[in-house]
Amino acid sequence: MVRFEDLRIFVASADHGSFSVAARELDVSPAVASAALKRLEQILDARLFVRSTRSLRLTADGERYLEYARSAIATLDAGKNALARDKTAISGTLSVSIPSDLGRHVLLPWLDDFQHQHPSVNFQVRISDRLADLYRQPVDIAIRYGKPGDSALVALPLAEHNRRVVCASPAYLARHGVPQKPEDLRAHNCLSFVLGETLHDRWAFERDGTAMTVPVKGDRVGDDGDLVRRWALAGKGIAYKSRYDVLRDLRSGSLVALLPDYATEPSPLYLLCVHRMLLSPAVKRMREFLQERFRQFDAG
């Protein structure tokens, strides 16, 4: 039978690439960690690591088994937590990952309001446009645009009908003119966003059932959504942003929505977690709270 602590040592060793670091993290001796991994390999009849004096890396079997080990640990931890807490209490610490632009300018004030309503809830907030590794990082939930490619994640909609919007400042448009059709963007300075290794420099549109993608160029590329928005506000170029990121700017006139006759690509907003058992009362209540806030935000 596989031991729970052996799984923990296996996952920690895979995360750190080291038996000794995993042993220190779990407060066991390196010998205990090594014995646990040997025991696990014997039970599975598979080699999980390739070891040398300087390195430790997963084998192909180890890579495949790691996902199941993480899932088992998450499930068992969730069961332990469920038994330990009052299931009706809106309390505890929530570690939340939120995107840069929406997070700073919209979500952070809303989280303050939620905490005011539920003072027994504590927040640990991480702001980043990268999708947090919910299996590896100490993050309970993440709020992100777009449904994740990882089908194992639980994705609960917060605002399904959000879309992207092409926008620029009045000052930029006064200097360079207003594009009338997507192809006109090729003659403009377009502010691109890069996430990881992916450069988002192909902007999608649809009109009368016909889809089109326009490759754009510009003199600025940013890996932070808030930075791209600030460039647009400063008149540096045209941005292709989630509507929620710039909704207040559009309503104030600081930015102008362009190409109104063309539909842009959807940008639904989701609350993500690794397992439904982690949907605590606090998480469920926060999701309901955020859904209502987004409805109000849409209504103006």
Which pLDDT score is estimated for 196? 78
Q: Which pLDDT score is estimated for 129?
A: 83
So what's the pLDDT on residue 133?
A: 60
pLDDT tens digits, one per residue of 14-35: 998 888 888 899 999 988 988 9
Residues with Cβ < 8 Å from 165, sequence gap 6 or more? 240, 241, 242, 243, 246, 250, 257, 264
Total-model pTM: 0.69
The total number of residues shown for the chain amounts to: 300
Q: How far apart are CA 153 and CA 245, in angstroms?
A: 24
Buried b (16+ CB within 10 A) or exposed e, 160-175: eebebbbbbbeebbee
Residues of the chain short of pLDDT 70, as ranges, are: 53, 82-89, 131-136, 150
Query: Per residue in 230-284, pLDDT tens?
Result: 999 999 999 999 999 999 999 999 999 999 999 999 999 999 988 887 788 899 9
**216 and 201 Cβ atoms separated by less than 8 Å:** yes
Which pLDDT does position 132 carry in this prediction?
Answer: 59
CA distance 154 to 101: 23
